[in-house]
């Protein structure tokens, strides 16, 4: 059994790799744009858990990347049973103050790459009559949030795309699960270490290990979507009923705490 994890050299992706190997005993194909780190990760996981772990250095934001990755699997006779589309980027900024290259990176990685990865690998899963796909969305997909306009819009795309794909693929034995976490304690948000610790202590932020444990459990149960964290189920309806200016003010304040 083989699981493919993107963005697997750090953060949530790294935790997915460890959990899939240690608890579910999957061999792994680990993909990242950090060459040294992904090779070290694969070696470490293989040594720790006695599974096969292949490291592949690749920038998934390019137009050709999904097809090249799929071709690599075909040429090496790798049958992907689990696909975890985890690779992503995050930034706080007003759109007019953001470089076009950063906007394109986010939109390509979150929308085009996820779509084509699902299209290519789901076709094989459908032919085999079995497979699991996990796509990382976000709690922000449920609301409009100034300062992360491209992020939450692209995560809303992932959520709705995944739900549609679930219905298309479920009759063929393949499920697609969208995971919609709130804040997770990784370096993605650019918070200082003391603020990261405070956020976890106040249960505003979730440890990545806890998120991954919940997410994989939901995926293997074939759920369409999951929003890990009990507080999030109260927070989302609350923020949707707040005036826009309150949300805007809060997002601006959060942006001030970035490194």
Domains of the chain with CATH codes: 2-256 (3.40.50.720)
Quick: pLDDT tens for 149-181. 899 999 999 999 999 999 999 999 999 999 999
Dig out the tokens for 157 from the structure.
Answer: 């795309």
Dig out the tokens for 129 from the structure.
Answer: 């009559």
Quick: pLDDT tens for 21-76. 999 999 999 999 999 999 999 999 999 999 999 999 999 999 999 999 999 999 99
Residue 72 among the catalytic residues? no
Quick one: which of 182, 211, 159, 219 has its CA closest to 26?
219
Q: Which one is catalytic: 26, 70, 132, 151?
A: 151
Q: Which residue has the higher pLDDT, 68 or 183?
A: 68
Distance CA 157, CA 155 (A): 5
Torsion over CA: 105, 108, 111, 115 (sign)? negative
Q: Looking at residue 148, what is its pLDDT?
A: 87
pTM for the model: 0.87
């Amino acid at each position: 059994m083989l699981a493919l994890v993107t963005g697997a050299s750090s953060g949530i992706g790294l935790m997915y790799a460890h959990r899939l190997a240690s608890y579910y005993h999957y061999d792994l194909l680990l993909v990242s744009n950090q060459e040294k780190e992904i090779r070290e990760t694969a070696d470490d996981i293989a040594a720790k858990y006695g599974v096969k772990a292949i490291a592949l250095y690749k920038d998934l934001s390019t137009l050709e990347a999904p097809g090249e990755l799929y071709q690599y699997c075909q040429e090496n006779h790798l049958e992907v049973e689990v696909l975890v589309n985890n690779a992503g980027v995050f930034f706080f900024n007003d759109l007019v103050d953001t470089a076009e290259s950063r906007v394109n990176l986010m939109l390509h990685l979150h929308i085009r790459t996820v779509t084509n990865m699902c299209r290519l690998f789901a076709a094989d899963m459908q032919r085999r009559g079995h497979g699991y796909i996990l796509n990382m969305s976000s709690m922000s997909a449920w609301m409009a949030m100034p300062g992360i306009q491209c992020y939450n819009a692209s995560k809303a795309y992932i959520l709705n795309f995944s739900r549609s794909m679930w219905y298309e693929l479920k009759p063929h034995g393949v499920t697609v699960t969208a995971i919609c976490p709130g804040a997770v304690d990784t370096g993605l948000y650019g918070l200082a270490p003391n603020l990261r610790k405070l956020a976890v202590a106040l249960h505003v932020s979730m440890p990545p290990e806890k998120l991954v444990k919940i997410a994989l459990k939901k995926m293997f149960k074939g759920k369409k979507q999951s929003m890990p964290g009990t507080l999030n189920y109260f927070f989302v309806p609350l923020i949707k009923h707040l005036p826009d200016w309150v949300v805007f003010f809060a997002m601006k304040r959060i942006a001030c705490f970035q490194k």
